[in-house]
Structure 1
Amino acid sequence: MSSVPAALSATNSSWWHRNQQSMTPLLLLLPGVLFFLFYVIFPIFQSFNLSFYEWDGLGERSFVGFYNYEELYWDDAFYISLRNNVIWLVLYLLAIPAGLFIALFLNQTVTGIRLYKSLFFFPFVISQVVVGLVFTWFYDPTFGLLNVFLGWFGLGPINVLGDEHLVTYGIIAAGLWPQTAYCMILYLTGLNAVDPEQIEAGRLDGAKGARMLWYIILPQLRPATFIAFVVTVIGALRSFDLISVMTNGGPFGESRVLAFYMFEVALSEYGFRMGYGAAIAVMLFLIMLVYISFFLWKMARDERGV
C-alpha cells in the first residue's frame, strides 16, 4: 500500500524537476499578471458594461442601452473636450523631439554637464500639482513673469488662463515642461546603449550631423521612441490634474478634456451620472487604442522594411 504514494510522489517530483526551468518564470509573473487582470483589464470591461446603464453610484442601475452614447452625440461639451484632446495629442508629441535633442546635448562631454542634467531632470520629479501652481503664477496677468517679460517690449498684459482661445495652449505648455524631461530621460538611457562600432563605421563612411542621427542613432533608439510615444499619448489623453489646478475646466468650459469632463459628469456637479461618465471613458479608451495601435502597426512595418 505504501508503495503507491511513494510512486506518485516520485512522479510529481520528476515532473517538477523536468519543468522547473520553464515554470519558474511563469510563477514569478503570476502575481503581476493577476494584479494587471484585476486592476486594468477587469475595470475596462466593467466600464463598457456600466456605459449601458443610468446609475448614480448608490441606487439601483437602470439599463438604457445606447442612450448614453446617443446623448454624447448631441453634447456640445463632449465635442469641446474632444477637440481639446486632439490639440493635446498633436502638441504634446513635441515633447518627444524636444527630449531627444536635449538628451543629445546632455550626452556630450562638456564642462558642468552634471549641473545641466540636474536642471533638465528637475521638472520630472516635481508633482503635476506644483507644475500647475507654478505656471498659474507665471501666467498671472497682474504679477506673472510672462506679462513682466512682455511689458519689456511694450506688450500685454495677456490673461492666458482667462482667454478661451489661449487657455488650452497655456496648459499644454505647462504639461510639456515635465513631459519633455521624461522623454529626455528615456533617450539618455537609450543613448547609453547605442553601439559605438556602428557610429565609428558611419564616420568612416562619411556620415555626420543629421545623416549620422537619422541613419545610425535613431534606428537604435526605436525602443526608447516607442516608450516615449506611448507614455506621451497616454499623458495627453488622461490630462486632468493640470486642468483641475489651473482652470477647473474654465473659462466657460473651454479648457475641458475628456478625462476632466468624465470626472465632472460622474463625480461632480452633474449629479453623479456614472453611466454617462463611463461612456465618455469608453470613447477615451477607444481613441487611445486606435492611436497606439496605429503606431505599433507602423513600427512593425518599419521593422520589416515594408
Structure 2
Amino acid sequence: MANTVWKAKRRNLAPWLFLAPGLIMFIVYVIIPIFQSMWISFYDWDGLGEKTWLGLANYVELLDDDAFYTSLKNNVIWLVLYMLALPAGLFIAIFLNQSIRGMRLYKSLFFFPFVISQVVVGLMFSWFYAPNFGLFYNLIESFTGQGIAILADDRFVTYGIIVAGLWPQIAYVMILYLTGLNNVAPDQIEAARLDGAKGWKMLWYVVLPQLRPATFIAVVVTVIGALRSFDLVSVMTDGGPYGSSRVLSFYMYEQALSEYGYRMGYGAAIAVVLFAIMMVFISGFIWKMWRDERGR
C-alpha cells in the first residue's frame, strides 16, 4: 500500500521537478524585477546613491510631461500598424503552404528577415531612406521631383521606422502560421469542400478556427514587439528629430540610463506604465480567447 502511494506521489511530483528550473528562472529574472521596478518608481534615485522616497510624484510628473505623451502616442501608432503583421503573415503563410516546385526557395527568402538582427535591419532601412543616395528617396524624387527625408521629417519618421520593424515581424508571424497550417485537419478541409465551402468561407470558418493557438502567440509577440521597439528607434533616429520618434521604451532608457537623466525612479515609472499597457492588451486577448473557447 505504501509503495503504491509513493508511486502516485512520484508521478505527481515528476512534472514539477521538470518545471522547477524554468519556474525558478522566471521568478528570479521576470517576476521579481517587475516588482522591483514598481518599488523603484516611488523613489528619486540615480542608480548609485541613496534613494529618496517620493510616493506618486514620478507618476504625477508624467501627467505634465510632453515627451511622455509623444512617446505614448507613438506607441499607440506602433500598436495599431504592427497588427498588420498578422494578416500579412497569414496570407504569405497560405501562399507558401503549397507543394509546388521551388517553394523551398521562396520560403527561405521570406524567412530571411527573421534571422537578421534588428540593428542590421535598422541600418539597412536608414540607408534605404537616406537623402540623395537612398533608394526610397530617389524613387520619390523621380516620381514627384522632390525627395522626402523620411527619418528627418517629424511627420513621417515614426511610420518609416514602423515599416522597418514590420519587415522581420511579418516573417515571424508567417513562421507561426506556417507551423499552424501544418496542423490543420485535412479531413475538415475535405468535408468543407464537399459542402461547397471555398475561398474566404473556407478560410474564415474552417482554417482560422484551427489556427487559434498560432494566432494567440502571434498577437502576443506582435504586441510585445510593438511596445518594446527600442532598438530600431535607437539605431535609426536616436529618438529624433527633436524627440518626435520616441517610444516609451526609448524614453525610459533616456531618463534612466543615458547622460540626459540617470533618473532611475522616473524611468521605472515609465516602465510600469509600459508594462500596464502591455498587460491590458494581452489580458484582453486572453480573455476573448477564453470566452470563445467556453462558447464552443
TM more than 0.5:
yes
2:197 corresponds to 1:207: yes
Q: Which residue number in structure 2 is paired with residue 301 of structure 1?
A: 291
Question: Normalised by the size of structure 1, how large is the TM-score?
Answer: 0.94
Matched, 1:123 2:113: yes
Report the secondary structure of 2:146's partner residue: coil
Mapped pair 1:145 → 2:135: yes
Please state if 1:243 is matched with 2:238: no
Which amino acid in 2 is paired with 1:284? Answer: L
Between Structure 1 and Structure 2, whose CA radius of gyration is higher? 1
- Residue-by-residue CA offset, 1:122-177 (whole Å, 9 max, x unaligned): 00001000000000000001100112222332443110000001000000000000
CA distance in 1: counterparts of 2:144 and 2:45, whole angstroms: 55
Provide the TM-score with structure 2 as the length reference: 0.97
Give distance in 1, aligned partners of 2:269 and 2:20: 31
User: For each residue in 1:5-47, what CA deviation from the matched residue of structure 2 results, as whole angstroms up to 9, or x when unmatched?
Assistant: xxxxx96x76543311111111010111010001000001101
* Structure 1 residues 198-218: Cα deviation after superposition (integer angstroms, max 9, x where no partner): 000000000000000000000
Corresponding position: 1:64 with 2:61: no
Task: Give the secondary structure class of the aligned counterpart of 1:132.
Answer: helix
Which of 71, 74, 78 is the equivalent residue of 2:68? 78
- 2:41, 2:266 within 8 Å by CA — same for their partners in 1? yes
Q: CA deviation at 1:109?
A: 2.1
Distance 1:56 1:152 in 2: 51
AA aligned opposite 1:136: S
* Aligned positions of 1:14-33 closer than 5 A: 16-33=6-23
Number of residue pairs the alignment of both structures matches? 296
Q: Which residue, out of 236, 242, 247, partners 1:252?
A: 242
Deviation at 1:302, TM superposition (A): 1.7
Comparing 150-159 with 38-47, greater Cα deviation is found at: 150-159
Q: Output the amino acid matched with 1:276.
A: Y
Paired residue for 1:48?
Answer: 38
**Deviation, structure 1 residue 267:** 0.6
- Gaps spanning 5+ residues in structure 2: where? none
Task: Please give the alpha-carbon distance, in whole angstroms, between the structure 2 residues aligned to 1:270 and 1:144.
Answer: 31
Distance 2:4 2:47 in 1: 53
Deviation by residue 1:195-251 (Cα, 9 ceiling, x = unmatched): 000000000000000000000000000000000000000000011000000000000
- 2:131 is paired with a residue whose SS is coil
Of 273, 276, 280, the match for 2:263? 273
2:26 paired with 1:36? yes
AA in 2 matched with 1:89: L
Q: % of aligned pairs identical?
A: 69
Unaligned runs of 5+ in 1: 1-9
Tell me what 2:275 maps to. 285
**What CA distance in whole angstroms lies between the structure 1 residues aligned with 2:33 and 2:71?**
23
Alignment correspondent of 1:6? none
CA distance in 2, matches of 1:266, 1:154: 43
Contact 2:137–2:147 under 8 Å retained in 1: yes
Letter in 2 for 1:167: V
Closer, same or farther in 2 for the Cα pair 1:18/1:108, shift >3 Å?
Answer: closer
Contact preservation (8 Å) 2:141, 2:148? no
Where 1:153 maps in the other structure, the secondary structure is helix
Paired residue for 2:173, among 179, 183, 188? 183
Alignment partner, residue 114 of structure 1:
104
